[in-house]
Amino acid sequence: MCDHASHSFHSRRQFLEAGLGLLALSAVAPWSALAASPPVQNAITPDAALRRLLDGNALYVANKLDAKDFSVGRAARAKAQYPIAAILSCADSRVAPELVFDQGPGDLFVMRIAGNYLSGDILASLEYAVGVLKVPLIMVMGHTECGAIKATISEIKDPAPLPGHIWDIVDAVRPGIDKVVQTGGGNVLLNAIGANVDYNVARIASAQPVVSEAIKSGAVKVVGSVYELATGKVLMRQTA
């Protein structure tokens, strides 16, 4: 009887000690933290991110966008964001990157400015996207019939005063397209749109230290594209 009682006592004591230990552990690290955290959506390669965008664009072109419940994930998005790409696009009202690539809230980190050119503020935002949000892809997306490019072409060919601060746009776009405009030839507008994209891709890729270092490590890729207003297609250009 004594042996049995002693064994029962020790068993109960071990059980209580184990329980107290688990309680102490849960106070330090909640069970949710002990479980393996699922990978975030932007923990992917630059090529995988680009493929997701192009697959989404194919759905957009075919008018087969995935139905989205925008309330799903709203609480989680309030705590953090994990965009798969940073998009520098034109402010043109006909260009909507989330729709063009069939992405939802929290999927894209979008900067829009007439002429889709790199400025100091845009670069700071891109560095935040790369350094803090860890986006694996940066895309510069121009578009057909771009008014900012048209205005710059007109100013290069026939200089004339422009109202207000529109000069700022022309001055920013001019370096990337001046040679194309001066060369002339066939579709100057389309060629200038592409040249402007390529110019800004190169500028972003060489921006030190955040973006250039991320590219060297293979964590980030910078790509260029042109969105066709008439078809909805995104045509790829330069990659860095």
Provide the residue-wise pLDDT of the chain in tens; the chain has 240 residues: 445 444 444 444 454 444 444 344 444 444 344 345 678 999 999 999 999 999 999 999 999 988 777 777 787 888 889 999 999 999 999 999 999 999 999 999 999 999 999 999 999 999 999 999 999 999 999 999 999 999 999 999 999 888 999 999 999 999 999 999 999 988 999 999 999 999 999 999 999 999 999 999 999 999 999 999 999 999 999 777
The whole-model pTM stands at 0.83
pLDDT confidence of residue 203: 98
pLDDT confidence of residue 36: 55
Distance of alpha carbon 192 from alpha carbon 190, whole angstroms:
5
Instruction: Supply the CATH classification number for the domain 38-239.
Output: 3.40.1050.10
pLDDT confidence of residue 37: 66
pLDDT confidence of residue 240: 75
What phi and psi values does residue 228 have, to the nearest 5 degrees?
Answer: -90, 115
Four-CA torsion 198, 201, 202, 204, nearest 10 degrees: 160
